[in-house]
């Protein structure tokens, strides 16, 4: 009968076990230092509960006031809610025009012209009146101003001018030439020296 294999030598067995342990430790260290082999964190079972968003409600007071016929009263209480109401308020209280338009009390067309919901004949009539004013003075109609308004129906608030009537006032600038640095030679966008730079010969050899 064949002979049974001899058991491994104790010294060889210890050497093999130590080599295996070293390899396992090296592999574990590599896995620990690589993010790609790191196991992802398990998601929490209890999902985060978000607070319920408040329901969106429509402001129904507009419809309620419209059905009750109270929109006009609300407009008188809050004139700034419409451009027509604000223009009327400025005309009566500040003697001022609004948005480069003529003052309602001095407007050539009466200011309160017909809208799309009015009688079509009134709409056409007001449009023809506006065209007549444009043909009469096209420059003043196309480029309205307050300071040079030929009709006198456009104006700043009483006691104000162009600067003081502004909400955001411009900075005050002192244009005294003695406080400014002028006459500095330079170059234009094409690299050509300015007329104040002098000639090349003067700059090179001196005056």
pLDDT in tens, 9-52: 444 444 555 666 677 667 676 656 555 545 555 555 555 566 66
In this structure, how many other beta carbons lie within 10 angstroms of the beta carbon of residue 65? 15
Task: Please check the confidence at residue 121 and state whether its pLDDT lies above 90.
Answer: yes
Higher pLDDT, 205 or 161: 161
pLDDT confidence band for 54 (50 / 70 / 90): low
CA gap 165, 97 in Å, rounded: 12
Task: Please check the confidence at residue 150 and state whether its pLDDT lies above 70.
Answer: yes
What's the pLDDT at 87? 92
pLDDT confidence band for 93 (50 / 70 / 90): very high
What's the pLDDT at 13? 44
Backbone angles phi, psi at 187, to 5 degrees: -130, 145
What's the pLDDT at 123? 92
Task: Please check the confidence at residue 107 and state whether its pLDDT lies above 70.
Answer: yes
To the nearest whole number, what is the mean pLDDT of the chain?
Answer: 75
CA gap 111, 91 in Å, rounded: 12
CA gap 19, 33 in Å, rounded: 21
CA gap 100, 140 in Å, rounded: 11
Name which of 105, 115, 126 is nearest 134 in CA terms. Answer: 126
pLDDT confidence band for 109 (50 / 70 / 90): confident
Q: What is the mean pLDDT of residues 61-84?
A: 80
Q: What percentage of residues in the chain have a pLDDT greater than 70?
A: 61
Name which of 70, 75, 71 is nearest 87 in CA terms. Answer: 75
Half-sphere exposure of 126 (CA within 13 A, CB side): 14
């Amino acid at each position: 009968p064949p002979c049974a294999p001899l058991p491994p030598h104790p010294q060889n067995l210890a050497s093999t076990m130590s080599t295996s342990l070293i390899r396992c430790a090296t592999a574990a260290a590599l896995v620990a230092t690589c993010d790609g082999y790191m196991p992802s964190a398990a998601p929490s079972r209890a999902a985060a509960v978000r607070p319920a968003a408040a329901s969106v409600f429509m402001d129904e007071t507009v419809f309620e006031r419209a059905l009750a016929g109270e929109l006009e009263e609300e407009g008188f209480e809050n004139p700034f809610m419409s451009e027509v109401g604000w223009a009327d308020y400025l005309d009566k209280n500040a003697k001022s025009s609004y948005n480069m338009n003529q003052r309602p009390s001095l407007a050539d067309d009466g200011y309160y012209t017909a809208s799309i919901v009015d009688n079509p004949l009134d709409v056409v009539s007001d449009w023809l009146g506006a065209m007549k004013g444009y043909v009469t003075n096209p420059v003043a109609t196309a480029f309205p101003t307050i300071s040079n308004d030929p009709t006198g129906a456009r104006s700043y608030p009483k006691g104000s001018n162009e600067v003081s009537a502004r909400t955001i006032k411009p900075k005050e600038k002192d244009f005294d030439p003695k406080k400014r640095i002028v006459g500095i030679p330079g170059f234009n966008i094409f690299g050509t020296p300015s007329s104040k730079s002098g000639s090349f010969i003067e700059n090179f050899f001196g005056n």
